[in-house]
């Protein structure tokens, strides 16, 4: 944003599921100069911010405060005073136990413009994802949201325990896990029946969601045995009994499965979204980074000589993207390609080419020799010049087969895959603690780089109980070179095929 006067947007970031962020909130994040976020605001939302936006973490967790509330208030005033637009992300809704009103008062006192963007509160969404409606015609028409922070035994408490105990309303306590025993004691002391149903929902709406149920009499022990900790929402009332019938989120086929995505970070979102919708907890461990080649002179030269070629062949979406990025960077457009015929390896590459308004003439399904030969068998390829822009290190089978068919092939490096090493320590810790259920490999380079992150000689042991999902036969062959066996292979060899195989695998094993 470029307005000279600053402004603060107090944004409810929702309960945890990124899909529950409002469109208005997303727009504010995208346009912000500064993003200030706390412990409960999903980190995924930072991806919506511009690359130039300043990101400031002010998380508060169980008494461990990065900044005090006063310091947060001053930060917002300071940044807005510099003429910046600030997106202040707060978990849930900023005006439901989010101290958003206090921040608004500070901004008002300082003469800073602000706007409140309501969010989906965990008070209703966490129970809903656990199959617990906070109201129901057959149970109650009332609901009370109550802070769980206050010690119920303190003098001069504002907590009306006698009212809560007599009421038929659903009682929803936020931030009350540490005080659970006191809450239960006070409710029963003031007359709430001991057999009143209770549920705690931890990390509601996320793949880490954990729900523990019981009654006022049993819930403390149930929580102790389950080792459930904050953050969690406490729900008290007869509506909790509906969970047995209405639970849906934790019945999704991949719920609770920790699945590693090894694709480049920029390409991981589609696979992550598909798996998340099925309940999986996606752990992004990008093993590769896609970059322009260190020297793109060969691509530029080929584009300048494009009239010399008869065919343009793409083997991946990356090849398509980087080729056209270079083309457009030279001030040219697709009109100079009008004389060419096109071939793409795989349907996803074909679709990416179609995004530029070009229909592929030929579609070999895989890199396998028989697939290439079959696809080009009816094409006029003898003596034709073929331009093949692709990765710096790529398999030789395609140019070899095209050459045997009589074509003259020019390979040019359109992009490079670079090893990502940052996630190595995290990956090894997760594997050591057996916190990974499956790993997805979408190319041979993801396999090679993934294996390079594991300690020498320990790979087989670390991966012993991990499901290995491969996108196709070439990738599977690479997995085998490291002494591992793919658990499954996508068919067709696409992201959708990979997701379907994972789904089928876990359904057949009866693992929810």
- 384 in active site: no
> Could you say which of 7, 79, 175, 350 is catalytic?
175
* Percent of the chain predicted with pLDDT > 90: 65
Homologous superfamily of domain range 7-120: Tetrapyrrole methylase, N-terminal domain (3.40.1010.10)
pLDDT of amino acid 266:
67
Cβ count near 188 (within 10 Å):
17
- 60 in active site: yes
pLDDT of amino acid 297:
93
pLDDT of amino acid 1:
44
Q: Are the folds of 124-247 and 258-287+420-508 the same?
A: no
pLDDT of amino acid 42:
76
Q: Give the distance, in angstroms, between the CA of residue 143 and the centroid of all CA atoms in the same chain.
A: 32
pLDDT of amino acid 173:
97
pLDDT of amino acid 3:
45
Q: What would be the CATH architecture of the domain defined by 258-287+420-508? A: 3-Layer(aba) Sandwich (3.40)
By DSSP bridging, strand 311-314 and strand 60-61 are unpaired
pLDDT of amino acid 512:
44
Q: Domains of the chain: which residue ranges?
A: 7-120, 124-247, 258-287+420-508, 292-417
Of 120, 133, 128, 145, give the one whose Cα is nearest residue 16: 120
pLDDT < 50 stretches in the chain: 1-3, 512
Length of the chain: 512
DSSP labels for 206-224? STT-EEEEEETTTHHHHHH
Give the whole-angstrom CA distance, residue 451 versus residue 482.
8
> What's the CATH fold of domain 124-247?
3.30.950
Q: Residues with Cβ < 8 Å from 281, sequence gap 6 or more?
A: 206, 207, 208, 256, 257, 258, 259
CA angle at 418 for the pair 415 and 423, rounded to the nearest 5°: 145
**Is the distance from CB of 349 to CB of 389 less than 8 angstroms?**
no
> Could you say which of 60, 178, 229, 392 is catalytic?
60
> Could you say which of 38, 93, 274, 437 is catalytic?
38
Q: Residues with Cβ < 8 Å from 378, sequence gap 6 or more?
A: none
Backbone angles phi, psi at 418, to 5 degrees: -110, 140
**Is the distance from CB of 209 to CB of 129 less than 8 angstroms?**
yes
By DSSP bridging, strand 311-314 and strand 288-291 are unpaired
Give the whole-angstrom CA distance, residue 269 versus residue 88.
24
**Alpha-carbon distances, residue 113 vs 8, 103, 329 (angstroms):** 6, 12, 41
CATH 3.40.50.10090 corresponds to the domain 292-417:
yes
CA 484, 485, 488, 492 torsion-angle sign: positive
- 175 in active site: yes
Cβ count near 205 (within 10 Å):
23
């Amino acid at each position: 944003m470029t307005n000279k006067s600053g402004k603060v947007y107090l944004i409810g970031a929702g309960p945890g599921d990124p899909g529950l962020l409002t469109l208005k909130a997303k727009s504010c994040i995208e346009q912000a100069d500064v993003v200030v976020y706390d412990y409960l605001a999903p980190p995924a939302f930072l991806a919506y911010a511009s690359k130039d936006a300043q990101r400031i973490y002010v998380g508060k967790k169980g008494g461990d405060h990065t900044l005090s509330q006063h310091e947060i208030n001053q930060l917002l005033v300071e940044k807005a005073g510099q003429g910046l637009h600030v997106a202040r992300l707060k978990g849930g809704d900023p005006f439901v136990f989010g101290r958003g009103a206090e921040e608004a008062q500070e901004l008002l006192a300082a003469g800073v413009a602000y706007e409140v963007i309501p969010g989906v509160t965990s008070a209703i969404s966490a129970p809903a994802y656990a199959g617990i409606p906070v109201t129901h015609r057959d149970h109650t028409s009332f609901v009370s949201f109550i802070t769980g922070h206050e010690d119920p035994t303190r003098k001069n408490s504002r907590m009306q325990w006698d009212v809560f105990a007599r009421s038929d309303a659903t009682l929803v306590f936020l931030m009350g896990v540490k005080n659970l025993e006191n809450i239960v004691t006070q409710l029963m002391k003031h007359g709430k029946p001991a057999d009143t149903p209770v549920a705690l929902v931890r990390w509601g709406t996320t793949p880490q969601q954990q729900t523990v149920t019981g009654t006022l009499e049993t819930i403390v022990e149930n929580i102790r045995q389950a080792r459930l900790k904050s953050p969690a929402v406490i729900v008290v009332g007869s509506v909790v009994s509906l969970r047995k019938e209405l639970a849906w989120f934790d019945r999704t086929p991949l719920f609770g499965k920790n699945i590693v995505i090894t694709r480049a970070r920029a390409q991981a979102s589609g696979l992550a979204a598909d798996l998340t919708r099925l309940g999986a907890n996606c752990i992004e461990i990008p093993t590769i980074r896609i970059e322009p080649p260190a020297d793109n002179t060969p691509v530029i030269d080929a584009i300048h000589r494009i009239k010399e070629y008869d065919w343009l062949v793409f083997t991946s979406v990356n090849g398509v993207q980087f080729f056209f990025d270079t083309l457009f960077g030279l001030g040219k457009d697709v009109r100079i390609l009008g004389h060419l015929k096109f071939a793409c390896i795989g349907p996803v590459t074909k679709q990416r080419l179609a995004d530029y308004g070009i229909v592929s003439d030929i579609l070999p399904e895989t890199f396998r020799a028989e697939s290439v030969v079959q696809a080009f068998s009816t094409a006029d390829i003898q003596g034709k010049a073929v331009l093949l822009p692709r990765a710096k290190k790529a398999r030789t089978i395609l140019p070899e087969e095209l050459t045997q068919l009589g074509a003259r092939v020019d390979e040019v490096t359109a992009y490079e895959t670079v090893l990502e090493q940052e996630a190595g320590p995290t990956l090894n810790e997760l594997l050591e603690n057996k916190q990974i259920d499956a790993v997805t490999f979408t190319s041979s380079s993801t396999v090679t780089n993934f294996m390079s992150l594991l300690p020498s000689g320990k790979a087989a042991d670390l991966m012993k109980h991990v499901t290995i999902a491969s996108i196709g036969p070439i990738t599977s062959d690479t997995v085998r070179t490291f002494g591992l066996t793919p658990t499954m292979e996508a068919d067709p060899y696409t992201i959708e095929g990979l997701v379907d195989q994972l789904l089928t695998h876990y359904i057949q094993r009866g693992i929810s």
